[in-house]
Structure 1
Amino acid sequence: MTRSPYDAIAEGYAALNATSLLNEYYNRPALAELAGDVAGRRVLDVGCGSGPILADLLERGAIVTGIDSSAGMLEQARARLGDAVDLRVADLAEPLPFEDDTFDDVVASQVLHYLKDWAPCLAELHRVLKPGGRLIVSEEHPSAIFFSDRLSGGDREYFGVHRRTEEWELGGRTTELTFWDRPLHAMTDAFAEAGFRIATISEPAPAPAAFERFPELRKHASGRFLAFLLFVLVAE
């Protein structure tokens, strides 16, 4: 397995996630709400990073496993969670190291957008889920990406799958990340082709605590803004 670009910024990225509006006060609370009661359920977090979502699931009584392509990020997760949690280096572009029908739920938070082709990955996630199990997905909202591009002077169309490359600097370290952006219909088509039924589509608001930590959010009359699009998918 090749070295992950996240290895270079693992410590800085973990620190950023712990305090940022989009992760700590938006994405994580929204995922926890959609997951609901997970006590006693076997849950796989793919692209678990430094483990904040695993920590939430553990606190709610889930039996958790985490995988990530970055050994550096998993070091951060072990520091957070200890050695009792099953953490493994694995690449979503390759077959997963689990038997069929292993998990009740899979969480894929902000990770599918690193893949140009979702089909092999979704097939693997379907395989390791028990029949009727849930895949809970969080992705960047395609409309937010489109409008951001236009506001910055870009002319990329909404439709189609597009490569986006960004240079990130965190903790004094720099790395280059590549994302594959796609419209909503491409996401839902991929889910259906992999054998998933869409149970929920969510465009959440930030958690209430966000308005105390980031008072500038009050300028949004509804308290909502486009950032993430979340799905609950059922394996059929």
Structure 2
Amino acid sequence: MTLANDYDSFAKAYADDNETGVNNAYYERPAMLALAGDVAGRRILDAGCGAGPLFAALRERGATVSGFDKSAGMLELARRRLGDDADLRVADLADPLPYEDDSFDDVVASLSMHYLRDWGPTLAEIRRVLKPGGRFLMSTNHPTAEYCIARMNGQRPDYFATYENTGEWTTATGQTIVLTNWNRPLHAMTDAFTAAGFRISVISEPQPAPEARELFPDAYHLLATAPSFLFFVLAA
């Protein structure tokens, strides 16, 4: 039986797809790096760092980066990539974070918040570990995209509800992955941000990287003409 969100069981396959696939390598990750801007000299926490591609990119740009992930299997891959001296910890985004108050200039969370049903405690912890004036940059499934997919599959979810969504995804190597996340309306996201003491600086619906047009023409057209992920920059 395949368990939902069992990243330890498919860490290598997921990491390989994340490294080169259009959604991550040519859409989500370039958008996050563009929103982060000049990070040289900043201390950044990569929340849900997976195998470490964003961690590596931020470090290459001059940031001092720490990262954590719930999956020990993903962190093993991250350590191989980033080296034994990388600050990597096994921790759950839903639990209190193992860092001191006011530790980071930025926290980044790439496609990890939508695994949580309740954002309140996690946002409070992120706010705690950020320095005054720090930033929280996050990407999540676009609520209208998830709603439209459900409708196309014959479901009739309530857009205004926070509901569980489970689906299967096949990796490039043919492994079937079961992922469960929580979809919520836009107003539930923004309400959670303000309740946690954040100010919304940016809401972004970016375009894919231009080079994806040649490499993934069909996927490029879809990403360029319909919402897929939603990005926020929040000020503490």
Normalising by the residue count of structure 1, what TM-score does the alignment of the two structures yield?
Answer: 0.93
Identity %: 59
Partner of 1:141: 142
Partner of 1:84: 85
Counterpart of 2:182, as a letter, is W
- 1:193 correspondence with 2:195: yes
- 1:195 CA drift (Å): 0.4
- 1:233 correspondence with 2:214: no
Partner of 1:104: 105
Cα distance in 2, alignment partners of residues 146 and 13 from structure 1: 24
- Of stretches 188-197 and 84-93 in structure 1, the one that deviates more from structure 2 is 84-93
- 1:167 CA drift (Å): 4.0
Q: Is there any run of 5+ residues in structure 2 with no aligned partner, and where?
A: none
Cα distance in 2, alignment partners of residues 143 and 114 from structure 1: 17
Q: Deviations over 1:75-114 (max 9, x none)?
A: 1111211112101000111111110000000001111111
Cα distance in 2, alignment partners of residues 229 and 172 from structure 1: 28
Cα distance in 2, alignment partners of residues 71 and 159 from structure 1: 35
Q: Deviations over 1:159-218 (max 9, x none)?
A: 110011234554565554321110100000000000000000000000111112112356
Cα distance in 1, alignment partners of residues 204 and 193 from structure 2: 15
Partner of 1:46: 47
Counterpart of 1:180, as a letter, is W
Give the root-mean-square deviation of aligned CA atoms. Answer: 1.9
Give SS of 1:223's match.
Answer: helix
- Of stretches 4-13 and 40-49 in structure 1, the one that deviates more from structure 2 is 4-13
Partner of 1:158: 159
CA shift in 2, pair 1:227/1:78, >3 Å: same
- 1:20 CA drift (Å): 1.0
Normalising by the residue count of structure 2, what TM-score does the alignment of the two structures yield?
Answer: 0.93
CA shift in 2, pair 1:166/1:219, >3 Å: closer
Number of matched pairs: 232
